[in-house]
Amino acid sequence: MAKTMTKLVLLAALAATAGCAKKRPDVLPPAAGEAPAQTTPETTGPVGNAVVPGSAEDFRRTVRSDTVNFALDQYEIDATAGGILDSQAAWLSRYPNVRVTIEGHADERGTREYNLALGDRRANAVATYLANRGIAATRITTISYGKERPLALGSDEASWAQNRRAVTVVVE
């Protein structure tokens, strides 16, 4: 009788939990590694090849450049850099909710510590310039990579000149 009672209890428990199974959602999220499906017009994502205003792609297409280059061991903003940063400031003014990170970089010469400090000064010089153009400092973060993320590989002046830079990256 105990076995029959146990079987009845188990059968009742199975029947009770069978109705609690989760329903499969109508739209499944993409599997790992798959590209997400195109979004619909009522969302903020891109549809087809359109660029969403205020996106990182819009920033790269609209501003003169996302990169400011510097002279050897320098972090002052020159006239060329000022023109680039003015176009960035104008774009950022149009999209007041967009946040950016300024990445400071250096060439391979010098110690790791020196280049991290130089990259930091370059990133902060760009951030200060943008803030002086009316962009809220709370929207800007800085980071220095020193010589750890070179754009151009090589030990010549042309490569070093490309690596002495600050890059503005839209945070998404």
Contact 39, 56 (CB under 8 A): no
Q: Is the pLDDT of residue 40 over 90?
A: no
Q: How far is CA 169 from the centre of its chain?
A: 6
pLDDT digits (tens, 9 = 90+) for 3-16: 776 776 766 666 66
* Cα Rg of the chain (Å, integer): 27
CATH for 56-171 is: 3.30.1330.60
pLDDT value at position 172?
80
pLDDT digits (tens, 9 = 90+) for 134-144: 999 999 999 99
pTM: 0.71
Token pair for 144: 């220095």
Other beta carbons less than 10 A from residue 29's beta carbon: 9
pLDDT value at position 50?
87
Amino acid at 46: P
Contact 150, 159 (CB under 8 A): yes
Token pair for 95: 């999209």
Q: What share of the chain is helix, strand, coil (3-state, %, to 5)?
A: 40, 15, 45
Phi and psi, residue 103, nearest 5°: -100, 125
pLDDT value at position 128?
98
Could you tell me the pLDDT band of residue 43, with boundaries at 50, 70 and 90? very low
